[in-house]
Structure 1
Amino acid sequence: MKKGILICMIAALFFACKSASSTASTETALSTKLDKKTQVALKGNWVLTNVSYPGSDYIKVNSFDLADSKCFIGSTWSFISNNNKGTMALTSPSCTAFSSPIVWSINNQGLLVLKILDAGEKAKKVRDGYLLKVGGVTETSFQLIDNINVGGQVKDVVYQFQRAN
């Protein structure tokens, strides 16, 4: 009887300590691997200077489910690369003012993962976010490119940023 209990206890310890499948761990690590070089390049304060829709200048876009895309022109963005936090603020006089903390990262596929938070909200509680392609990164400018569906066709929305002085 004691021998049976001992074997059950050893078996329970063995199975309780068994690690997760290495395939699942590898897939998770690959999908969340960060492009730290590009993240460091975006570190700092930026102004969104232009929003364009290449080939479709007459569409109306509600950016980030917040406001008309043109309201983002002049908005200020701060990206902190060592903790992937920051802020964004809409400041256009003809639009409703808005300010929010953000959490962001750039994955190894060149996509900026962006979460816009409500005040006091934890990023891990926010399930919705945005994936935007990062392009044209220089010391003084970069672009974020969103894809939207317009009448069954995928169109780009290009957000142009300039480093703030």
Structure 2
Amino acid sequence: MKKFVFICMMSTILFACKSASSTATSTEGTEISKKLDRPTQVAIKGNWILTNVSYAGSDYIKVNSFDLADSKCFIGSTWNFISNNNKGTMTLNASSCTAFTSPIVWSINNQGLFVLKIVDPGTKSKNVRSGYLLKVAGLTDNSFQLIDNINVGGQTKDVTYQFQRAN
């Protein structure tokens, strides 16, 4: 009986210390909140054009964005965000780069992180276990930024993706 009471007390302490927000762990071990920032998601819904990619040292270093292509290939790409089902598409169409179109799954958690999963053809989005976490910044009716962190020579640098609403 004493062991049972002890186990109950330890369980209560363990669960009482757990964070109030639900979290999910990706395959890379990064914790992300399952609670969503619905107002920000609604503000981002629609069609967007990625107009600029900027980062310190862009003249000297090449960034492979989202493990797909050189970051400069994303300039001019079109993105569609559907907020009611957190799906959409991205299309790379720069003339000097390989064309690419893919469905995406996205959300914005309550910590302001944009969660992006690129879905391979023939794969169900629920089976995609890896993705990207980016910070949402500068959100207005007609523009916003996604900011990624990269490691350059042991230092963390920001890569900023600038979006403009498509007409």
- The bucket for the TM-score relative to the shorter chain is 0.7 to 0.9
Superposition CA RMSD, Å: 1.8
For the residue of structure 2 that corresponds to 1:131, the secondary structure is: strand
How big is the shift at 1:118?
1.1
Query: Greater helix percent: which structure?
Result: 1
- Aligned equivalents of 1:50, 1:22: Cα separation in 2: 45
Unmatched 5+ residue regions in structure 2?
Answer: 1-13, 24-31
| Aligned equivalent of 2:106, options 100, 104, 111 | 104
| Aligned equivalent of 1:94, options 93, 96, 117 | 96
| Aligned equivalent of 1:116, options 115, 118, 126 | 118
Identity %: 74
- Aligned equivalents of 1:62, 1:126: Cα separation in 2: 20
For the residue of structure 2 that corresponds to 1:138, the secondary structure is: coil
1:75 counterpart residue number: 77
- Aligned equivalents of 2:50, 2:122: Cα separation in 1: 25
- Aligned equivalents of 1:31, 1:68: Cα separation in 2: 29
How big is the shift at 1:26?
4.4
Unmatched 5+ residue regions in structure 1?
Answer: 1-20
2:86 counterpart residue number: 84
Q: Which 10-residue stretch deviates more, 27-36 or 101-110? A: 27-36
1:3 counterpart residue number: none
Q: TM-score scaled to structure 1, two decimals?
A: 0.82
Q: TM-score scaled to structure 2, two decimals?
A: 0.81
How big is the shift at 1:124?
1.6
Equivalent pairs counted in the alignment come to 144
Contact 2:148 2:160 in 1 (8 A): yes
1:56 counterpart residue number: 57
How big is the shift at 1:56?
2.3
- Aligned equivalents of 2:144, 2:133: Cα separation in 1: 15
Contact 2:50 2:79 in 1 (8 A): yes
- Aligned equivalents of 2:20, 2:135: Cα separation in 1: 24
How big is the shift at 1:121?
1.4
How big is the shift at 1:79?
0.1
Contact 2:21 2:35 in 1 (8 A): no
For the residue of structure 1 that corresponds to 2:136, the secondary structure is: strand
Please identify the structure whose Cα radius of gyration is greater: 1
